[in-house]
Amino acid sequence: MYVIKTISKIEQVGFVSTRFQGIDGVSLETKKWVQVFEKLGFETYFFSGLSDWYPKRSMVIPEAFFSHPEIVEIQEECFGRTVRGEALTGKIQAKRKLLKEALYEFIKKWEIDLLVVENALTIPMNIPLGLALTEVIAETGMPTIAHHHDFVWERQRFSVSAVNDYLSMAFPPDLPSIMHITINTEARRNLSFRRGLSSIIVPNVFDYSTPPPGIDAYSADLREELGIGPRDVFLLQPTRIVARKGIESAIELAHRMEKTLPSGKDGVKLVISHQARDEGSTYYERIVDYAKLLGVDLVLKPERIGEERGVTTDGKKIYSLFDVYPHADFVTYPSTYEGFGNAFLEAIYFKKPLLVNRYSIFQTDIEPVGFDVAIMDTYITDETVKKVWTYILHPDDRRKAVERNFELAATYFSFPILERKIKSILLNFGLSLF
C-alpha cells in the first residue's frame, strides 16, 4: 500500500468554501475529498461562512457565506449593470479586508500547509471572499488546489457585470502556486480557452465499495408517509427545484406513464427530494403549476427528507435521502446542464434504473462509458416512455442494466480513482509517494 511521506511539511490541509452544510453538490463532493485526504494521513480543517461540520476544526465567518445579507446586497449591485459606484467598491473592499484577516488567522491557528478551495475561486457568489483568497495565496505562495465546480461563464446571470476586473483577478486567479482542478472535459477546455490556465480533470466519485443501505424498520413506512400506495409507480427526482434540472421533463414522463398505465398499477407519483428555493421561487411555482396542468401527482415534502434522519417540529419522521432511494421504482435525471452528475452516481449506487437527458457533460464524460439507461435528447418521446416501462415491468432487464451500471461506475467513478488523482496532484507540490 502506498503511503505519503512529507518532504515539504505539508501535513495540515485547510478546506475553504462559502458553506459546508447540507446536500448540495459541492459539499457532498468535498466530503469525499476530505475522506481521501484523511486516509492518506493528513489533518483537515475548515473555513466557511456556514457549517455544521467538525466544530472543533472549523472557523466560521458569517460574511464568507453567499447568503449573508451584506454579501447578497453586494452581489445584487454587481450584476445586471456595467458600471459600479465608488460606494460599492468600498463595500467590497471592506468585506475583502475582513475576510482576508480571517483567512490569515485560520492559516496561523492550525498551521495550514495546503489550501483546498472548493468553488470559492470559481463562481462569484461571494466576490469579497474570492478577492481575499487570491490576495492571501499571492502574498504567501501557499500551495493551493482550486477545485472548480461551476464557472462564472456557465451562469447567464453573471454575463452583465460591473466587476469584470474582479472576475478576471479572482474567478479563477492565475497564480503559480495554484493547481486548478476541473470536473469535466468541457470545463477544462473553457478554462484553457478563456483564462489560459491548464487544469487536471478529477471527476465526481462515489464510494461503491460500501454496500448501499436498504429498507429497515425506521424507513419501512416511507411510502405510506409520503402518500405513495403499494401499487403506485414511485418516480424519484433527487435534486433541487432549479431550472437547469429540467424537471418539466420528469413531469411529462409521469403524465405519459399515467396514460399508458398497465394493469396492476394504480398511478404514478413523482417525488422531488430537495428544498425548492435555492434560486428563488419562480421556477418552483412554474413546476407546481405545470404538474397541475398535466394532472401529475407531485409529492413535495422536503421537510420530511433531509441530510440525516430526525424529527420535525410536529413530531413526524425526517427521512434521509438514502432512506428514499431504496423505495423508488425509477429515478429521473433530465437535467439540461450539470457540472458532472452526483445524482446519476447515487442512482447507480442504489442500483436503480434511470432516465438521463443528454446534457453536454453526460455526452462527453459519462455516456462513452456505456451505461444502460433510458435516454432522452432534449425532450421525451414514446420510445423513452417504452424504455422506462421496460425497466419497471421486466425484472430481468432491470437487473442486467443496474448490475452493469454499478460495475462500470465502480471502475470509472469510485474512491480509488479519486485517491490516485489526489496522489498525483500532491506529487506536483513536492511530495514523495513510496
What is the band of 280 on the pLDDT scale with cuts at 50, 70, 90? low
What is the band of 7 on the pLDDT scale with cuts at 50, 70, 90? very low
Contact 411, 32 (CB under 8 A): no
What is the band of 28 on the pLDDT scale with cuts at 50, 70, 90? confident
The CATH code of the domain at 222-412 is 3.40.50.2000
pLDDT at residue number 224: 95
Cα-based distances in Å from 323 to 44, 131, 301, 406: 29, 40, 14, 19
Q: Specify the 3-state DSSP secondary structure of 333.
A: strand
pLDDT at residue number 2: 30
- Residue 150 contacts by C-beta under 8 Å, 6 or more apart in sequence? 119, 122, 123, 339
Kindly state the cell numbers that stand for 359.
446534457
Closest by CA to 367, choosing from 413, 416, 414, 422, is: 413
CATH T-level assignment (fold) for domain 4-82+91-205+415-433: Rossmann fold (3.40.50)
State the DSSP code for 10. Answer: -
C-alpha torsion sign, points 227, 253, 408, 238? negative
Give the other-Cβ count within 10 Å of 86's Cβ: 7
| Distance of alpha carbon 38 from alpha carbon 59, whole angstroms | 19
Residues forming CATH 3.40.50.2000 domain(s) in the chain? 4-82+91-205+415-433, 222-412
Give the other-Cβ count within 10 Å of 111's Cβ: 12
Q: Specify the 3-state DSSP secondary structure of 144.
A: strand
- Residue 405 contacts by C-beta under 8 Å, 6 or more apart in sequence? 348, 351, 371, 372, 373
pLDDT at residue number 308: 85
What is the band of 6 on the pLDDT scale with cuts at 50, 70, 90? very low
Kindly state the cell numbers that stand for 136.
492571501
Is residue 3 pLDDT above 50, yes or no? Answer: no
Give the other-Cβ count within 10 Å of 153's Cβ: 17
**pTM for the full predicted model:** 0.84
What average pLDDT does this structure show over 262-272?
94
For 249-253, 277-281, 384-388, which range has the lowest pLDDT when averaged over its residues? 277-281
